[in-house]
Structure 1
Amino acid sequence: MSKFIFSSTMLKPALNACVVFVVFSLLCTQTNAQKFKPLFDGRTLEGWTAAKSTGEGDWGNFSVNKKEKAIHVYAGEKEGSIQQTDCLITEFEFSHYILKLEYKWLEKRFDPRTDWDRDAGLLFHVQGDLKKIWPWSLEMQIGESLGNKAEDLRFHTGDLWVLGNHLRVKTPHTNGWYDPNELPTEGLHRKTRLGVEKPRGKWNKMEIRVYGSEKATFILNGEVVLEIFDFVQIAKDGAVSPLEKGHIGLQAEFAELLYRKIRIKEFPANSSD
């Protein structure tokens, strides 16, 4: 009767295979967790609702430009015609995430702002009545004003607007201009110093990194243009609570533009991103 001799060398191929399998599984899990998912598929507006919608299948002043695979604001409207503001809002709420999109200004402007700088906005932590213009939210401005334009009524990509008198955030600033070297203080409007927009007709890349109620970073074409901290909401009885989450919205505000490549990556609350 022959004897079976067991050797440790016989384990090596099996152990190596197990190690490879485990590492591969971990990498796949990590990769899946890090993937962005589209909020707009380039074909339909499913998953969104418009403030000015009149019913199912109606998205107000928003439509799909299939050639550009983009959301088209005021498509087909006559230059200078009277138009209404509108807001396209996600069906779901989000809390901790990175959101990326691209936008491009087109030529048309509409009454009552036919001679104004172009203006729109990316809203986040949207709350309350979604049919309201504008819903309670925090806004990263989208605009085409010069970065050094000092007037309060300017429309510059990266500016902050707080939409709701019961909402509060803090921003480091000097005389209302974003200044990362200062301590954050409360304010409803802050201006970015950086003018890094690409000109009308070119695509701009926007990004916001949102960490619940703690912090949000505004990024335009790879540059950090503003940061905000400590988002809270104040109830009628004076009770203060963190503003942790909300819908995401895209504004239509009297100027024709395109939004595309809208995608999001969520992450756990205890993660840096």
Structure 2
Amino acid sequence: MAPQGLKQHFMATLLLCSLVGSVQAAPAEAVVNDPNKEEWVELFNGKDLTNWTIKISGFELNDNAFNTFRVEDGIMKMRYDQYKEFNNHFGHIFYNGGPFSHYRIKVEYRFVGDQVKNGPAWAYRNNGIMYHTQDPKTMGVKQDFPGSMEYQLLGGDGVNPRTTGNLCTPGTHVVYNGKFTEDHIINSSSDTFHGEQWVTAELLVHGSEKAEHFINGKKVLEYTDLQWDDRSPNTGGYIALQAESHPTDFRRVSLLNLEGCMDKTAKNFKRYFVKNKQEACVY
């Protein structure tokens, strides 16, 4: 190579090394917290039942009798193909995190197939999101339902109106339209969904103060003063999905915690928090 060519080659090599060195030496950019960005947590990972606890009436905790709860094709399924008959084996699957008090939940669900033999007539295309529940470890072996608030999920029968996103109150009560009520079921204003289409159910709850139900983005129910049978406030608890005798699919179960650091000087401050948790602050 001619001397001039050697010089040009040397200078080019030197420049390249300088650029590479500067890239390697550049400090990593710090992750910047966006106080407006909602940090949803996917409670169901789409693969297995990690971080979930099973309780089926008549069986010990985490005995997944008859393979009732399973994950197939990225979907959490409640199935009855291994049952001879139902025998009131009401099931619930609890998320291990919690307890939670102020939060939003989004669930995508659908009813499929036929109800198990001898399932209760009222449980036809009937399931639910149990929230503010008791700890599953405190449930009795033969206990059918946890003490909780229930965001009821219903499918239509193909003919008659049948709202979803209703409220049921196992061991609890609320104030509805400004009046205390002992009604076990309060119906929503939702549409009826007769087929096997996916429906999005959303819950917004602020401790014992207020809860709002949404179906496919539309508000369908609101109530206040969530409380236990003894009239003490139901301020929070665990989250569960039901298996009430009709095959059901869940493909999304997401939670946005509304309790967290509300100090604007902290690195993890979020504007959407509604309840402060000072010990969670990072500075």
Quick one: distance in 2 between partners of 1:226 and 1:208? 10
Quick one: distance in 1 between partners of 2:243 and 2:43? 18
Q: Structure 1 length as normaliser, TM-score?
A: 0.71
Query: Of residues 45, 50, 55 in structure 1, which corresponds to 2:54?
Result: 50
Q: Which SS does the other structure have where 2:144 is aligned?
A: coil
Which residue identity lines up with residue 82 of structure 1 in the other structure? E
Structure with greater proportional strand content? 1
Contact preservation (8 Å) 1:94, 1:246: yes
1:202 aligns with 2:197: yes
Structure 1 unaligned blocks of 5 or more: 1-20, 173-182
Contact preservation (8 Å) 2:119, 2:245: yes
Contact preservation (8 Å) 2:211, 2:223: yes
Quick one: distance in 1 between partners of 2:247 and 2:216? 21
1:135 aligns with 2:126: no
1:259 aligns with 2:250: yes
Query: Of residues 100, 107, 116 in structure 2, which corresponds to 1:101?
Result: 107
CA RMSD, Structure 1 to Structure 2 (Å): 3.1
Quick one: distance in 2 between partners of 1:45 and 1:127? 20
Equivalenced residue count is 225
Map 1:115-194 → 2, pairs under 5 A: 117-127=124-134, 129-131=138-140, 132-145=143-156, 156-164=163-171, 167-172=172-177, 183-194=178-189
Structure 2 unaligned blocks of 5 or more: 1-28, 263-272, 276-283
Contact preservation (8 Å) 2:55, 2:61: no
Query: Of residues 62, 69, 88 in structure 1, which corresponds to 2:93?
Result: 88
Q: CA deviation at 1:54?
A: 4.9
Q: Structure 2 length as normaliser, TM-score?
A: 0.69
Question: What fraction of aligned residue pairs are identical, expressed as a percent?
Answer: 24
Bigger Cα Rg = 2
Equivalent in the alignment of 2:40: 36
Contact preservation (8 Å) 1:139, 1:161: yes
- Structure 1 pair 26–62 and aligned structure 2 pair: CA distance change class (3 A): closer
- Structure 1 pair 30–194 and aligned structure 2 pair: CA distance change class (3 A): closer
